[in-house]
Structure 1
Amino acid sequence: MRARRALRQAPGRYLHRGCKAHAWTGGGGADAAGLNRERLERSAASLQWRGAGRRRRGTCARCRCCSCPHSATCARTGAGRAPAPRCCEAGAGGPSPARGASPSGMWPSLAGAAPPAELGKDGAYIREIQPGEQAAARRIFYEGIMERIPNTAFRGLKSQPLAQLLYGLLAVICFVVTKSLLLTCCLPIFLMGMRYYFSRKVILNYLDCALHTDMSDIEQYYMKPPGSCFWVAVLDGNVVGIVAARGNEEDNTLELRRMSVDSKYRGKGIAKALGRKVLEFAMLNNYSSVVLGTTAVKVAAHKLYESLGFKHVGIVEHYTLPGMTHSLLERVFFQLRYHRYRLQLREE
């Protein structure tokens, strides 16, 4: 663009830096001017090609739609140009809307279902689950929930001051009664072992309940009802992530559920892409808001939801999971905090 601007503003001046005899006078005849003009046009074409090369991988060469899976071709020769993708045939011109912080401007308005979107360098993409992929989806869900056993037992204690106080009082009572420093030092190990035991017991009961309800037949529970869907992230032909959405017609909200990514493929932006897919689905189906609830202890999970635009709206202390027995020992050694998040897409 700079080369073209220089050509329009002063076609007879400084046509080529290497030509000392005609650098500022513009003289030397039509042949020299034509040669320099040709060099400038070739330079401008090179700059334009380099700019096209800076486009993000996976964007459309015509409309730059981020959801288009077609890659840009050579801007100089046009060799191997693919047929116009669906987004170009629909007449979508210009760059895609910017994703800002506000929910209304974060997600582009979609006129129809978009093709699978590539995710960065790894080539992973999001699509609806296929019947033969339910076993892989259940495996990823199972492994993701099992990771919460040590997190709930050990990391979760940091956010439970009452449990910390109770365990401290038990240590003092143990020392007063037994007068044994060794037994008092062994008491925290016993308490952590009990926390792990009850965390495992409750979470396994919850898994058994989930695998016999919605996760037992994903097609029936998520794909057939209107306003619900289940997606998978696919990389190199393997399912590496899952997410589900279930609509509630009473308050016109969509619930984000069952989000999980295979531990070997984390840190690649797959979880964020899964969350964006749910938000795009909510916009397409005119839901007013998206809600989710989580018992996750890891800070990274909460930062992910906030990066998608969700706002933390409340905490439920001593949350009850399906499969809990509510015994005294279970209440002492197992506590959960349930975090609620909400993203308002439009006002009712």
Structure 2
Amino acid sequence: MYQIREYRDADYTAVRMIYSTGFREHVGTVYLQALKQPWAQALLCGAFLLIQVFFGSFLTCIMGVGGVLLIIRMSVQYFFEQGIQLGLNEDLSDIRSSYMQTGSKSSFWVAEEKGSIVGTVGILPCVEEPGAWELKRISVKREFRGRGLAKALCKTALDFVARHNVRRVVLFTSMVQTDAHKLYNTIGFKKEEEFVWPSLPGRLIKFMVFKYSHGTGDVMSF
């Protein structure tokens, strides 16, 4: 049976590992998203035709296309690693300083089972929207999903800010986190905006980010 408690400094490495591992789970989905883009399909077709013209070998063409697929895969992997490092170097670089300041309306929690950290969630003032608070770093180890743990973590955070009279909570999630979208709808969040991740790789593969919002006055309804 798991318990949800506030973050301790000894949890630091485990929290960062859960975040990194969860992020990397979606590499394959984003790779397929990249292959659906017209530029990727044109690149593959162009490589096939050029190799066919210059070498006249079907096997060489297949090998060349395979090389292009590998390059696209490595590029997606690089894009993901940049995203992971962004989180690790921002709020997860110093979790206590980011979330656990005395008297602040922010905090970070972990779910623990048999001495192991199996889930995380944090909440703090939103940089992108002054006056709102942001739910962040919602992650549960794969083998512990389907037990209501993510929902319980989110409820802990929403109850916390409701006690501090915070009336608006937002979160940002991506197009590939479809299971998370269902969770957010279940606990009262509503999607209010979507946009392409503001980077060149994000624009190239049309990597969509969704913004959800929640009025904490409804927090006890789920």
TM range (shorter): 0.7 to 0.9
TM-score of the pair, normalised by structure 2:
0.81
Partner of 1:279: 158
Partner of 2:192: 313
Alpha-carbon shift at residue 223 of structure 1 (Å):
0.4
- Which sits farther off after the overlay, 202-211 or 175-184? 175-184
Instruction: State the alpha-carbon separation in 2 of the partners of residues 332 and 291 from structure 1.
Output: 23
Alpha-carbon shift at residue 307 of structure 1 (Å):
1.3
Partner of 1:208: 85
Higher strand share: 2
1:314-329 maps to which residues of 2 (within 5 A)? Answer: 314-317=193-196, 319-320=197-198, 326=200
| Partners of 2:110 and 2:118 within 8 A in 1 | yes
Larger-gyration structure (1/2) = 1
**Corresponding residue pairs, total:** 212
How many percent of aligned residue pairs carry the same amino acid? Answer: 27
Give the gaps of 5 or more residues in structure 2: none
User: Per the alignment, in what secondary structure is the counterpart of residue 137 of structure 2?
Assistant: strand
Distance 1:176 1:135, change over 3 A: closer
Deviations 1:129-177 (A, max 9, x none): 12211121111112112223223222x348x6xx1x2333334444554
Instruction: State the alpha-carbon separation in 2 of the partners of residues 239 and 203 from structure 1.
Output: 23
Partner of 2:138: 259
Match status 1:270 vs 2:149: yes
Distance 1:190 1:295, change over 3 A: farther
Instruction: State the alpha-carbon separation in 2 of the partners of residues 332 and 290 from structure 1.
Output: 27
For residue 243 of structure 1, what is the amino acid of its counterpart?
A: V
Alpha-carbon shift at residue 316 of structure 1 (Å):
0.7
Alpha-carbon shift at residue 303 of structure 1 (Å):
1.0
Give the gaps of 5 or more residues in structure 1: 1-122
1:57-206 maps to which residues of 2 (within 5 A)? Answer: 123-154=1-32, 156-157=33-34, 163=37, 165-174=38-47, 176-177=49-50, 178=52, 181-182=58-59, 185=62, 189-206=66-83
| Partners of 1:310 and 1:341 within 8 A in 2 | yes
Partner of 2:208: 337
Instruction: State the alpha-carbon separation in 1 of the partners of residues 159 and 198 from structure 2.
Output: 31
TM-score of the pair, normalised by structure 1:
0.54
Q: Which has the higher contact order (CA 8 A, sep 6+)?
A: 2
Partner of 1:37: none
Deviations 1:22-41 (A, max 9, x none): xxxxxxxxxxxxxxxxxxxx
Distance 1:336 1:265, change over 3 A: same
